[in-house]
Amino acid sequence: MEILDLRHFSSADLRPLLEDETRVWSRLLSWDYGGSADMILRYVDAKILPGYAAVERGRICGYAFFVYEGSKGVIGDLYVTNGGRLPEAHEVESRLLVHVIETLQQSPGIHRIEAQLLLHESGAVARSFVEQGFERHARLFMSLPLTPAPHPEIPREAEIEIRRWAEPDYQPSAALITTAYRGHVDADINDQYRSLSGSLRFLNNIVRFPGCGTFDPESSFVAVHKRARSLAGLILCSRVRADVGHVTQVCVLPEYRSRRIGESLLAAATADLSRRNFSTLSLTVTEANAHAVELYRRLGFDTKRVFDAFVWEG
């Protein structure tokens, strides 16, 4: 088995592996990976996707890619056929990861590497990261079955209004995210949350690009302080399968917390998706974010998988 630069290959070489991976995303996470797979294949044909392929007898049996975002490298994906089942697949995963990590750590100007590998059970690929000096954070993939039953109104203060997210909320949303995540464990995992420009990039990725599903404005809401006309909280959702919604962001400003605004935002999204016959709403949350995990459990979310987020700072 050889590890080769991904840029030696075309979409035709990689397509069978991505079709296999798309089935796994669907089975494990109810997630339609087709849009992401198409984007990856276009990048492969354009020879602009840095990464590695594991090749056995002329066939690609695994791959990993990364992207550069300024001084940060983000590992976008790692997938090996039968990964997690065959002992030799683990070996292939480790070899791909070591190549990717070493390439990024040796890239001039790269001071930080992030990775969140949802398909890999917590611990499954941790060794390669930990041995290279990465920090590891357990994260939960949770989901809530949606029912068409009417959703009760949640009592909340009269000064807060919940309304749909709209384009003019773009800038204020970025400011809200930056404030809501100050000193938060998720800002250790994703450094975009630490600045206004980073939060704008995060929003841009979610709203304009199909990386994390397709943004769904109808089930995205803001909590507005009526008198001050300022945002107190927001929830953003994407469609990750025709009938599955995913919360890509939910946060409330510190001074407004514990007033059921978070719960109201989740209820608004849930009610909208149920009305449109979505079957499921999913989200990911850092295990150490105990308040959020507790809130989601109370609302009926169930943990489907535990995966790891990895961070390296050089």
Ligand X SMILES: CC(C)(COP(=O)(O)OP(=O)(O)OC[C@H]1O[C@@H](n2cnc3c(N)ncnc32)[C@H](O)[C@@H]1OP(=O)(O)O)[C@@H](O)C(=O)NCCC(=O)NCCS
Query: Which chain residues interact with ligand X by CB under 6 A?
Result: 180-181, 184, 250-252, 257-263, 285, 289, 291-292, 294-295
* Distance, CA of 237 to CA of 202 (rounded, Å): 14
Nearer to ligand X, 180 or 222 (CB): 180
In the complex with ligand X, the residue whose CB is nearer, 261 or 281, is 261
Q: Which is nearer to ligand X, 14 or 240 (CB)?
A: 240
Strand (E) or helix (H) holding 295: helix 290-298
For residue 240, count CB atoms less than 10 angstroms from its CB and return exposed for 0-12, middle for 13-18, buried for 19 or more. buried
Q: How far apart are the first and last CA of the chain?
A: 31
- Rank residues 167 and 255 by Cβ distance to ligand X and give the closer one: 255
The structure tokens listed for 157 are: 């203060």
Give least dist CB 240 to ligand X, A.
Answer: 16
Query: What is the 3-class SS of 244-260, one letter each residue?
Result: EEEEEEEEECHHHCCCC
Report the residue number, 226 or 291, with the smaller CB distance to ligand X. Answer: 291
Least distance in angstroms from the C-beta of 182 to ligand X: 9
Smallest separation, CB 164 to ligand X (Å): 18
Structure tokens belonging to residue 86: 């065959």
Beta carbons of 310 and 139 less than 8 angstroms apart = no
CA distances (Å), 148 to each of 107, 277, 297, in order? 51, 7, 20
Q: SS3 for 105?
A: helix
Q: Which is nearer to ligand X, 38 or 263 (CB)?
A: 263
Nearest approach, Cβ of 156 to ligand X (angstroms)? Answer: 9
Instruction: Give the closest residue to 252 by CA, choosing from 239, 261, 244.
Output: 261
